[in-house]
Structure 1
Amino acid sequence: MKIESWIFGVTTVFLVLVSPAYWFITDAGESGADWTGTSALVMTTLLTAMLWLYLGFHARRMDARPEDREDAEVADGAGELGFFPPYSWWPLWCAAALAVVTFGIAVQAWWLFIIAIVLGAVALSGWIFEYYRGEYAH
């Protein structure tokens, strides 16, 4: 995870330099100016710094992966890589419910919002518990 940490570190340093430059160039310090871009850059800087610190913290405490070692060979990375779930329809229904929730709020149709929340809870429960029933149960 060392290379991932370096990527976020370089991005954080870049954003630390760019954020104040953007603030000065757009005159965000003056009254009536738009703060949206500066706020977005500052929040992005904080997000990349958080990921940099997290990945750097864990990279020092874990064993080196084959891709992190200079003397590693291709065979060192062989074997099971993890669990990859099969296809699922539940993410589609969760996204559709979220879209209807957002639409219900936008048009102030509270009855539609409530129905979408209920259907979204059902879809989210189905997605969470899909590996406890059916063909892929374990």
Structure 2
Amino acid sequence: MKIQGKMFIWLAAFILIMAVVYGWWSKEPAGTTALFLAFGLSIMIGYYLAFTAKRVDTGAQDNKEADVADDAGELGFFSPHSWQPLSLAVGGALAFLGVVFGWWLLYFSLPVLAFGLWGWVFEYYRGENQNQ
């Protein structure tokens, strides 16, 4: 993760320089704003990857003498039967359709989005307040 973090931080620095040059040269607010937002997204991802790389073990991608097979194995836990992404997709589609057809459609999409997000966050909750 160290390499990916450094790549995103350098990308963020490049985008910041280009945003300043573009804003100074073109005086166009939409593109300048988009570049500054891209800088913000890149720096967030780079900081997260760099911060996480300090807390986890060194992976095969950080070792220059590693083979491809060294990174084989389990990558993590992925829910095999979750319906929550479907409800989030339906709610997101309704929300974007609300922009097209009318903002009144958000009244129907926001509860669907809230239900899907709530279900996804607490799908595997195993805390002290859970009923068993």
TM-score, length basis structure 1: 0.65
Contact 2:95–2:106 under 8 Å retained in 1: yes
- CA displacement, residues 13-59 of structure 1 (integer Å, 9 cap, x when unaligned): 21122112111221x2xxxxx41111111122132223323322333
- CA displacement, residues 55-101 of structure 1 (integer Å, 9 cap, x when unaligned): 22333454311221134345543432211222544323322223324
Q: Give runs of aligned pairs for residues 1-138 of structure 1, distance below 5 A.
A: 1-26=1-26, 28=27, 34-74=28-68, 76-86=70-80, 88-104=82-98, 107-109=102-104, 112-128=105-121
Q: Give the RMSD, CA atoms, in angstroms.
A: 3.0
Q: Distance in 1 between matches of 2:86 and 2:94?
A: 12
Residue identity opposite 2:102 in structure 1: V
Contact 2:90–2:112 under 8 Å retained in 1: no
Deviation beyond 6 Å, 4+ runs, structure 1: none
Q: Per the alignment, do residues 131 and 41 of structure 1 end up closer, same or farther by CA in structure 2, a change over 3 Å counting?
A: same
Residue identity over aligned pairs, in percent, reads 38
Which protein shows a greater Rg?
A: 1
Q: Per the alignment, do residues 79 and 125 of structure 1 end up closer, same or farther by CA in structure 2, a change over 3 Å counting?
A: same
Q: How many residues align?
A: 124
TM-score, length basis structure 2: 0.67
Mind listing any 5+ residue stretches in structure 1 that lack a counterpart? 29-33, 133-138
Q: Distance in 1 between matches of 2:96 and 2:113?
A: 12
Residue identity opposite 1:43 in structure 2: L
